Amino acid sequence: MLKPAKKGISVTVESILLIGGVIASALFFVSFYKLAIYQADNVFSASEEGFANDLKAKINSVHSSTQDIVEYSYHPPVKAYKLTLKDRILSIKYPRRGPVHTLVPVDINNAKIENSNTVCISKNSDIITIRGEACPSVCNLNDNTCDDGCMLFGKCDPACKDCETDD
């Protein structure tokens, strides 16, 4: 006579294996999700610190220009931010992150800018100002006016007498 198979044990073992597989898969996806979020945070914080350091470098370049009147339009790489400049401390606050602070190496007028697509950095004699708008006459290469701001970052305005083109 044949002995009947023990189906109950087989079902129990298969259930335990299934539950173990589901738990292992869930742990894998949670770990992967946390790693992805960590990497994304690092990328965003690097770009946010880059924005502050880049703006600081542009302010320093405008300041060190030998020309008396210089204007430079800067286009921030981020859309949502609050920028404050007070007592040479440049602070940029982002909606869901902590602020980034950096010390500007030159004296500059205090400013508050929020979510502007363009930041105008200008120098008039030794007074540096920034404002959340496009500079009025930075660098128009198609007019017959020599715009001094063009020379600052290596652009050559053909209307300037000391402009040398590589064309």
| pLDDT tens-digit readout, 22-38 | 898 888 887 777 776 76
Give the model confidence (pLDDT) of 64-101 as tens digits.
888 777 888 888 888 888 999 898 888 888 887 778 88
- Return all residues near 125 (Cβ < 8 A) that are at least 6 apart: 68, 69
**How far apart, in whole angstroms, are the C-alpha atoms of residue 99 and residue 38?**
18
Whole-model pTM? 0.56
pLDDT the model gives residue 166: 47
Q: Quote the pLDDT of residue 133.
A: 84
